[in-house]
Each structure stands twice: as C-alpha cells, then as structure tokens.
Amino acid sequence: MRSPRRCSRNGCPRQAVATLTYVYNESTAVVGPLAAFAEPHTYDLCEPHARSLTAPRGWDVVRHEGEFEPPPPTTDDLVALAEAVREAARPVAPRPPEDDQSGHPSPHTGRRGHLRVIPPNH
C-alpha cells in the first residue's frame, strides 16, 4: 500500500494535507488543499506548517480558508491493501533441513556466510 505523503518540512513526520505553490512573477505563495499528485516545484505541508507559513518581505500569501483534510484512500490504495492481505494469508512452504545428522550442510544446499543457496525444485 502506498504510504501517505508526508510534510516537506525537514524533520516533520506529519501527514501532508496542503500543497504550497509559488507564483514567482506575482511574488505570491499559494497554500491550498493537497494536490492529487506530487508535482515538481510544489511542497506538501502538514496543517500546522500550512497555517503558520510566512513569505519573504514583499511577497503575499494566499491561503485556503477552509479545513485541511487528509485525502481519502484511493481505489489503488484499497487494491494494494487487499493484495497485501492475500499475500500474508498464503501458506508458507516448509523449509528443507539445513544440516544432516553430522552437523554439515546437506548436499542439496550451499552455505556462504549468512546466505544459503537452495536448488530449484524439479
């Protein structure tokens, strides 16, 4: 499942609910609802950062007046979740024994450090 977009501010772990865009030729920063897709030259912000954003001297800030809400899950998210649940529910095939009675690797497997080579089933 796709993880929710996070705030672009360094060190902020919160979920993004707003998108910041700059209109350079009008010296304006626009903070609106979260865009459907992450775009280059835009920044995703959590609610506290979207509400407290300030712009450089001489710039205007246009801010969305309504509530910032996290986006609802998309169909892709729900399909990915269903596939992950199906994958987790599949039975695990039994592992072949690693060592024979003498403590040596079985002739069907190879061992090198923490890696093990298991030949394919015929």
pLDDT along the chain (122 residues), means of 10: 78 93 93 88 94 93 81 63 72 62 56 65 64
Burial label for 17, CB within 10 Å (0-12, 13-18, 19+), is buried
- Beta strand 28-33 with 18-23: parallel, antiparallel or unpaired? antiparallel
For the chain, counts of helices (H) and of strands (E):
2, 6
CA distance readout (Å), 23 to 7, 13, 20, 49, 60: 20, 27, 10, 19, 10
**pTM across the whole model:** 0.55
Using the Cα atoms of residue 87, residue 92, residue 93 and residue 98 in order, give the sign of their dihedral. Answer: positive
| CB contact at 8 A, 32 and 18 | yes
Are 16 and 45 contacting, i.e. CB atoms less than 8 angstroms apart?
yes
Residue type, 78: L
Give the domain ranges of the chain: 1-88
Q: What pLDDT does 59 receive?
A: 94
